[in-house]
Chains A and B, each alone.
Chain A
Amino acid sequence: MCDQTFLAITFGPCDNCSQNKPLMNIYLKNEPINYCSLCVELMACQGLAKGETIHTLKAESETLKGKLEEERAKLHDVELHQVAEKIEALGQFVMKTRRTLKGHGNKVLCMDWCRDKRRIVSSSQDGKVIVWDAYTTNKEHAVTMPCTWVMACAYAPSGCAVACGGLDNKCSVYPLSLDKNENLAAKKKSVAMHTNYLSSCSFTNSDMQILTSSGDGTCALWDVESGQLLQSFHGHSADVLSLNLAPSETGNTFVSGGCDKKANVWDMRSGQNVQSFETHESDINSVKYYPSGDAFATGSDDATCRLYDLRADREVAIYSKESIIFGASSVDFSLSGRLLFAGYNDYTINVWDVLKGTRVAILFGHENRVSTVRVSPDGTAFCSGSWDNTLRIWA
């Protein structure tokens, strides 16, 4: 697509690069000059290192990509499932719905566990954010957001606040009060501002900072108290759909996945993209770190879940079956990392043996797409949220 028009009335050697091309007739310091369009462009650009042109950069880009693939392939000496051959296969799994949380008026889009292992916050398309006691199924708090499609919600580490956001392009924090009659909406604090929908949010190790990802293609780290932007992360070329913090006390990296089919690992302090993985064939809906922090899993619209090892810097396993043709919307690991729970758009939850790459169970129960799956902090159960307006606790 051209946003510039010029009459190529001459064709000949460019005054700058001497190549035979269509020439632009321009004036430099009142002297008529014939430059090819490339040289005109280069003249207008600053910041090029000595000897760099679009051609050299493109060439370097291709060689580097080739070199990276070569390096990664050299170290690919074995498959994960081969290393896992000698391990005992897992037995039959009996996992049933132990609680059903009913109360949302529309699709459940996101949920998060509180560190006390019993409370859950969930958000829905109807704008409601509800805090539940999963043991008793009682609703403890309910907030109505000023927007619909609340796609992200998170529990603060202290258990004293929840964060949520969606189509309002913001992430807001609501302190939870012990007084049931208090109007939570009154204490709302707007923390993050993006230029498109909020897809995911997560507190860091304290209540003081929140990490957000957005449809505007960026992730950002915010200070809750002041609402100040502390760091922004640019690198995705399309909506970022999911993020997950590395599981470490001193953790300062996180992984994000988006509609550009890429999963990027970021350094929170510098804002740098340290590693990038692009093997999925469609949008990555969910990313989750392996409990050791050395790997992460992704769930994608291409109907596969994949495991990427950070130290080997490549994909090491694919969890897929020909019979699974619907996208995976959400993934999470069990405590030891042996099991991967994945919720799909075909209303089921598949449980995978992470090491052997085989499916160990399919869980039926939801009557619409499963949108979110999270294992409880102590690993005794996991919760799934669905477009059928309910949440289910499985154990």
Chain B
Amino acid sequence: MSSNSASLVSLQKSVKQLRKEAGFRRIKVSQAAEDLKKFCLDNAQKDPLLMGVPSSDNPFRPPKSCALL
């Protein structure tokens, strides 16, 4: 009996959750994808791992040694 009422309660919960999700306002993938693309391109210049920074600016890259004449 207890396992049945437990599954009833969990079924009620999942139906409640599904009702909520059914009311969600979604946008088209094309719109969402455009926004993701725009964000990437707008911020590309500021992305060190993407653009690569000169060794002297990156604390992790050892600067190339220069020969002083």
Contact = CB atoms under 8 A, between A and B. Distances in A.
- Tell whether A and B belong to one assembly: yes
Interface of A: 1, 3-4, 41, 44-45, 47-48, 52, 54, 57-58, 60-61, 64-65, 67-68, 71-72, 75-80, 82-84, 87, 90, 94-95, 98-99, 118, 134-135, 235, 272-276, 290-292, 294-295, 309, 311-314, 316, 334-339, 354-355, 375, 378-382, 393, 395
B49 A312 contact: no
Interface of B: 1-5, 8-9, 11-12, 14-15, 17-22, 24, 26-37, 39-44, 46-50, 52-53, 58-62
A80 B33 contact: yes
Q: Which 4 residue pairs of A and B lie closest in terms of their CB atoms, listed nearest first?
A: A336-B43, A336-B47, A64-B18, A312-B32
Nearest to B47: A336
Q: Which of A54, A98, A312, A313 has the most CB of B within 10 A?
A: A312
A361 to B, nearest CB: 11
B43 A98 contact: no
Contact of A83 (B15, B37, B44): B37
Contact of B29 (A45, A71, A80): A80
A311 B27 contact: yes
B32 A335 contact: no
B47 to A, nearest CB: 4
Nearest to B30: A78
B50 A87 contact: no
Interface of B is mostly: helix
Given A336-B40, A354-B40, A77 B58 contact: no
6 contacts: A44-B5, A48-B12, A64-B18, A84-B33, A312-B29, A334-B50
Contact of A395 (B9, B30, B35, B61): B61
Contact of A336 (B17, B46, B53, B58): B46
B15 to A, nearest CB: 5
B37 A84 contact: yes
Nearest to A81: B33
B32 A57 contact: no
Contacts of B44: 336, 338
Given A98-B60, A316-B32, A335 B49 contact: yes
Nearest to B18: A64
A140 B18 CA distance: 49
B47 A379 contact: yes
Q: Which of A41, A64, A235, A273 has the most CB of B within 10 A?
A: A64
A261 B35 CA distance: 27
Given A64-B15, A68-B18, A135-B59, A75 B48 contact: no
A133 to B, nearest CB: 11
A203 to B, nearest CB: 24
Contact of B37 (A64, A355, A375): A355
Contacts of A57: 8, 11-12, 15
Given A272-B20, A395-B60, 17 more contacts: A57-B11, A60-B15, A61-B15, A77-B28, A77-B30, A78-B33, A291-B39, A292-B39, A294-B35, A311-B35, A335-B43, A339-B47, A339-B50, A355-B36, A380-B48, A380-B58, A381-B49
B33 A41 contact: no
A380 B39 CA distance: 19
A313 B24 CA distance: 9
Given A80-B33, A335-B43, A381 B14 contact: no
B18 A72 contact: no
B59 A380 contact: yes
Q: Which of B19, B26, B30 has the most CB of A within 10 A?
A: B26
A336 B49 CA distance: 9
B47 A334 contact: yes
A162 to B, nearest CB: 22
Contacts of B34: 83
Contacts of B24: 275, 313
A68 B21 CA distance: 8
A87 B32 contact: no
